Structure 1
């Protein structure tokens, strides 16, 4: 038996055991199997297998990472992108380590085959959605950081010089069809006149965009009208996004299964600041529900410390409940006006806060809502001080 190759042993293994073994392999290894046989090729695109692999990856800390976008100087002509992309490998395994290292994604930043001047609009299960930074283009692409597969989506809005186009893509997952979909919203501006159209594209199925007509007067925040990134979050097939066209701060939910919109009023007594130079607000996921991070406030007992209020959406009554008031375990005094704070949440019910202090190493804070405790890490190899444009949790994905 020791002289038999692995391929010779495969026919003797029951399929359920083989599937169980393969589901535990990282995505980079699995993509190599696609050319081995028709069995492997069909298995790796099978929905039950991809679901099994994704769920298993979520239980492995080594397959989780944090993606950070760091903007470079836009006036430099030699940079193919506006951003440098860094990943931080974080897991429960390194809780005792107080230092984490940021690793630059050189392959992505220097790739001449990607369309130039792009920015990240959303992410889901290790897939990231990119848009071109342009008011004359609606180009959108999906990129898999695990397999390095890059999927440019077709363009359907052609610039004719009569108006400006503000295109934005949001990535979601349809739990019914088990397919990934992209919602594209394009804002057309001619003088003082503004109109918005929406389309949906199903990855692996559609060849062109399908227009959605039952849409409200809605356009999500993006790099043209906001520098703060946490303005949308995906929960169980629904993406929630702040509406840039409504100054009252409403939230719009888009269901990728029914492909319909619905409006949600903002939490009571909130101010919808969305900018790093002001008190910041944003959307995150807490315990499987939509949460709104409200304005930063000083600790009444300790004026040198700041905290934030977390509102949780009660789905049964479509009402908001002030669930948490948490305070940072570090002082921001003296650097607060120059501080950039960025929020993201992971699948284990934690909220991560990236703190960029002037003349200091970036700090990553994790707050566990169940334990009501903080963990603090210093981040090295990340240029400082500067403005970060996005932070996302990334998981291993075979798609």
Structure 2
């Protein structure tokens, strides 16, 4: 656009009331709004205004085209530890892809490689995804020498490295730090917060190991440093260092971060993002569904995962069972946590994928998440391909996408996140 036309557009827009301008701009995608910020100081101040970002996010929730799927393909954790020594942390390979979809989409979808992430070793070479909320991604460091945490906006590519709250650990000392961040959204202040949990492993002169845990909170756009808080009950999340299925063990729902407690297996801890306090939630009772059996030898049935179902916390247990004809099949047993603080009777849903089509040599063949309209999405890893199935609770029906242009190897265990177009 020429400078004369640009000035004409600005002068024409200047006659519009600010309320109408806000409504028009809020319906634009985040990438377009980033360009608008460069037009004038007026547009820049309008778009970076906190209420505008809140309005834009609300619009994005109503538009299917504003939601995409992020696929992360890191190597197997055992291979990762082998390739990723403390001296050579940057050699760990990982790939990131986005997939655009809608409720009407069927058949085949293309995966788009995020080359800017995979090639930028300075920002993304030594980190892994810990959580994602509304298109903002929380990255943590693979290193056990510090507490580096960063927030990345996938829509605008804006990257924020959060300050440190712990002194770095020296390699020869034998001590280590494991830092893990979980992202949440305060529905009252409309601000994003990061809960950072750090486990300190210290050794005294007698080489006895002492473990301690501390927690901090950082409010994006407000805080300049971390604020320490105290946890009751004693809590520490699952991370890539203590559980290779860490991405199944936490979920953010309506201003609360729910996380499985690695210090008390089976217990769930709820962190209220606004009040910044913790509450323990008892696990659901053992499975009561008849006919659930162990799978055939050498085949893994997956692990429990936390997801959101109709705005409620839910636990999904992946299992394998045999029908009357002795044919194996995968399924999901789902418990839902009600407002009355009790677990609702579990649902039993079978996944319509032939058992023989799934890669059983890799036990991380299924990944479960929920999208913004309440559907359960199941990512299925085949031998050299991936498909995603969506289950609609209200319709009690499935739809399936086969993902193209997504390279798969036996050592890869894909993780899936739903990303909202967000200008914040």
Displacement of 1:255 after TM fit?
0.5
> What's the secondary structure of 1:206's corresponding residue?
coil
Question: Which residue of 154, 171, 189 corresponds with 2:163?
Answer: 154
2:90 and 2:213 map into 1 onto residues whose CA distance is 32
Displacement of 1:277 after TM fit?
4.5
Return closer, same or farther for 1:88/1:80 CA change in 2, 3 Å cut-off. farther
Displacement of 1:46 after TM fit?
2.5
Aligned to 1:113: 122
Question: Which residue of 270, 274, 290 corresponds with 1:253?
Answer: 270
Displacement of 1:14 after TM fit?
1.6
Aligned to 2:296: none
Displacement of 1:113 after TM fit?
3.5
**Within-5 A mapping of 1:172-211:** 172-190=184-202, 191-211=208-228
Return closer, same or farther for 1:63/1:115 CA change in 2, 3 Å cut-off. closer
RMSD of aligned Cα (Å): 2.3
For structure 1, which segment, 110-119 or 137-146, has the greater mean C-alpha deviation from structure 2 after superposition? 110-119
1:20 and 1:80 map into 2 onto residues whose CA distance is 46
Output the TM-score relative to the length of structure 2: 0.86
Deviations 1:186-208 (A, max 9, x none): 01123443211000001111111
**Within-5 A mapping of 1:315-326:** 315-316=339-340, 318-326=341-349
Matched, 1:28 2:31: yes
Count of residue pairs brought into register by the alignment: 389
Report which of the two has the higher share of helix: 2
> What's the secondary structure of 2:242's corresponding residue?
coil
2:150 and 2:359 map into 1 onto residues whose CA distance is 37
Question: Which residue of 54, 57, 71 corresponds with 1:54?
Answer: 57
Aligned to 1:390: 415
Q: Is the 8 A contact 1:338 1:357 kept in 2?
A: no
> What's the secondary structure of 1:196's corresponding residue?
strand
1:172 and 1:350 map into 2 onto residues whose CA distance is 21
Displacement of 1:214 after TM fit?
4.0
Return closer, same or farther for 1:261/1:277 CA change in 2, 3 Å cut-off. same
Question: Which residue of 403, 409, 413 corresponds with 1:379?
Answer: 403
Deviations 1:122-166 (A, max 9, x none): 000000000010111110000000000000001111225362211
Could you list the runs of 5+ residues in structure 1 that have no partner in the other structure? none
Question: Which residue of 352, 358, 369 corresponds with 1:329?
Answer: 352
1:189 and 1:300 map into 2 onto residues whose CA distance is 48
2:119 and 2:105 map into 1 onto residues whose CA distance is 30
Deviations 1:307-344 (A, max 9, x none): 1111000122x111124210011122474353511011
> What's the secondary structure of 2:123's corresponding residue?
coil
Return closer, same or farther for 1:66/1:298 CA change in 2, 3 Å cut-off. same
Q: Is the 8 A contact 1:309 1:322 kept in 2?
A: no
**Within-5 A mapping of 1:40-119:** 40-72=43-75, 74=80, 75=83, 82-95=93-106, 98-114=107-123, 116-119=125-128
Aligned to 1:170: 182
Return closer, same or farther for 1:89/1:167 CA change in 2, 3 Å cut-off. same
Q: Is the 8 A contact 1:230 1:390 kept in 2?
A: no
Q: Is the 8 A contact 1:80 1:112 kept in 2?
A: no
Displacement of 1:92 after TM fit?
2.0
Displacement of 1:270 after TM fit?
5.3
> What's the secondary structure of 1:94's corresponding residue?
coil
Output the TM-score relative to the length of structure 1: 0.91
Could you list the runs of 5+ residues in structure 2 that have no partner in the other structure? 203-207, 289-298
Question: Which residue of 249, 254, 259 corresponds with 1:236?
Answer: 254
Q: Is the 8 A contact 1:88 1:101 kept in 2?
A: yes
> What's the secondary structure of 1:363's corresponding residue?
strand
> What's the secondary structure of 1:35's corresponding residue?
coil
Q: Is the 8 A contact 2:378 2:389 kept in 1?
A: yes
Return closer, same or farther for 1:307/1:115 CA change in 2, 3 Å cut-off. closer
For structure 1, which segment, 130-139 or 49-58, has the greater mean C-alpha deviation from structure 2 after superposition? 49-58
Aligned to 2:334: 310
Deviations 1:212-263 (A, max 9, x none): 024431111111011112111101110000111112x100000110000000
1:52 and 1:108 map into 2 onto residues whose CA distance is 28
Aligned to 2:293: none
